[in-house]
Homo-oligomer: A and B are copies of this chain.
Amino acid sequence: MTKSPKFEPVQPVRAYQRIVEQVEDALARGDLVPGQRLPSERELVAQFEVSRSTVREALRVLESNGVVRSRPGDPNGPEILPFSSSALRKQVARLARVDELTLSELIGFRMIMDGAAIQVASRLRTPEELDDLEATLVAMRDAIDVDFAAFSEADLAFHELIARISRNSLIQTCNEVVRGVVLGLIADKVAHAANSRALMLESLHHHAEVVDAIRTGNGHAAARIARQNMFDYYAGYVPDSEQETLRALIED
């Protein structure tokens, strides 16, 4: 018996998929740039020669991928969103939709990711980068006397620097995205924290310990302190029942 040919499963290509492809191709080629607008749905109907239902199904896919955003009544048409990669934007869109039930998961994710960044950074850092880290600590100290927003910004700079030192762009983007989402979910609560000055001092102290551990090359300890700090910082915003899970993440 001759070897049986291996046939492929065939599946029809849907019209809305081809629309999605055309838009993403145009984006990849640069014919479409962030900030630009897509024609209105009815105009797209004319251009693609399909029904509006089909156009809309394609727009839903693009929207779910973070490529476009539609606003009812906007005469300019759907907006092309700024994005580095559609996967990243999609990530943002997905994460941004999660409700407070999974806030603890997001925080856990941050604890893991930030710990990873620190552990890598403690091996790869140059003396200059260590200096930069310590400069950021000073900036954080000064920011405490301004207000919480300033401190938060300095804290952001610290973690961005850590991620950069890790020389892993994916850690960078991941850290940034998740941090943004977490802050977006609890920003109002954080801003109202009554005793935020004590919290900020405590956080600063932990950050200094992290830098110390990085200086001595003890990435393991540095990551642990960072996770502890993040737990202390965010634990108040998750239900008691879920705190135990997060606390377990601190140790290793």
What separation, in Å, do the CA atoms of A177 and B215 have in the docked complex? 25
Tell me whether A171 and B177 are in contact (CB under 8 A): yes
User: When the two chains form the complex, which single residue of B184, B215, B245 contacts A6, counting CB atoms closer than 8 Å?
Assistant: B215
A residues contacting B by CB (< 8 A) are: 6, 8-12, 16, 21, 53, 56-58, 60-61, 63-65, 72, 85, 87-94, 96-97, 99-102, 105, 108-109, 112-113, 115-116, 119-120, 124, 126-127, 130, 166-174, 176-177, 180-181, 184-185, 188, 191, 215-217, 223, 245, 248-249, 252
Tell me whether B89 and A102 are in contact (CB under 8 A): yes
Q: Does more than half of chain A's interface fall in helix, strand or loop, or is it mixed? A: helix
Using Cβ atoms and an 8 Å threshold, which residues of chain B touch A12? 72
Using Cβ atoms and an 8 Å threshold, which residues of chain B touch A188? 6
User: When the two chains form the complex, which single residue of B9, B57, B97 contacts A249, counting CB atoms closer than 8 Å?
Assistant: B97
What separation, in Å, do the CA atoms of A249 and B93 have in the docked complex? 10
Using Cβ atoms and an 8 Å threshold, which residues of chain B touch A181? 116, 120, 168, 171
